[in-house]
Amino acid sequence: MSTQTFPEEYLLALPKTDLHVHLDGSIRLETLIDLAREYNVELPSYTPEGLRATVFKERYANLGEYLTGFAYTGAVMQTEVALERVAYEFALDNQNEGVRYVEVRFAPQLHMHAHMNAVMVIKAVNRGLKKAMDEFNRRPAVQSGAEPEFRYGIIVCAMRMFRDGFSEYFKNLMTSHRYTPDKELYAMASMELVRAAIIARDEYGLPVVGFDLAGEEAGYPAGDHASAFSYAHKHFLKKTVHAGEAYGPESIFQAITDLHADRIGHGTYLLDPDMISAPEIEDRARYVENLGQYIADRRITLEVCLTSNLQTNPHMNDPSQHPFRKLRQHRLSTTICTDNRLVSNTTVTRELQLAVEHLDLDRHDLKSVIIYGFKRSFMPTTYLEKRAYVRKVIDFYEAIDRKYFGEEPEPSTPEIQA
């Protein structure tokens, strides 16, 4: 464990990003309880303490247990009013800890029913986010240019697999196509969703910046969704894929080859040959070396979620066992994210502190990881505007850094993220 620490107020003050965070995993507990009462959703407890003890725990037995809480959060997010409220509060919570750019992801098909289609879901979320953004950006310090403004993008998630109990939309789809093989249904749902995402972006001007694939990796290959991701690729919609979270490097290979992934969600087992299960891969060490080299060379960024990975991989006893340090040693582009603020009981600030305390992230490394969150974002603006915004963020970051520590020291190791 590193002896390096930083004051919490310093980490809070720094401008930060969160490029991998699920809206339905980041609802406020008090709001969950409030909406459950309003919409007659039964919860195992109606106090924050009770829900922490029964559902949203510090540790989980496995990924399946980790995901059980989403049944409750999803159940209360079935109206435009609820979605807008959750999104608005989500943005406020990020702003209050210094997050200046966030890419929130969610699966519209989990919220769709007879009275709400995918575009309506995206619109509702956007209203909440935009309201919070506009309020923040009217602050005098932002208006004067002394501080960078708050911005956001929306990432739409397709599901690797689903069952009829996931939502009314999925139930209707499976009922109306009861003789269609499941993998064809998965592909059909993904294609329908990516078309809606592009309509939301192009016809309604919503800041949909990316298309994602989430859900259980084992047994549900990325290739089943290749048509939808090819459609996104051809329509200039960026791609990020959950891969290597609880499965091996070959899942990451599928994400970058079959789905044209620009970023990888998690990528925990990218460099672990022991996690390979495909029998046709004989030289496992060479396979992960080649895969790691390719991803490093292409600057495909890994969205690392420390707490979440510890919770869903019980064999990791503490953050020092996370492969984040190894990923950086291999010159891979990485950024620190929360995954789920509620389900993992975390914040961006807490995740950064864990990396500092347990994974030898020094002051120079901290800046590198944070700034690359901005640089590797899918920000909904032109390239030149993004460069100007990132420059403003860097200037703001360095001013805070000097306030606490004086001039920035020379890096102890060569710059890792070119």
By CB atoms closer than 10 A (0-12, 13-18, 19+), residue 55 is buried
- For the chain, the first-to-last Cα distance in angstroms comes to 27
Catalytic, 408? Answer: no
The SS3 of residue 59 is: coil
Helices (H), 246-323: 249-257, 284-298, 306-312
CA distance 275 to 126: 39
Query: Of 84, 217, 245, 250, which residue is the catalytic one?
Result: 245
| Residue 374: partners with Cβ closer than 8 Å, 6 or more residues away | 15, 17, 101, 389, 390, 393
Label residues 320-339 b or e (16+ Cβ within 10 Å = b): eebbbbebbebbbbbbbbbb
Q: Look at the block and give the residue holding tokens 């923040």.
A: 136
Rounded to whole angstroms, how far apart are CA atoms 311 and 63? 8
Q: Let me know: does 41 contact 75? Beta carbons within 8 Å.
A: yes
**Catalytic site positions:** 245
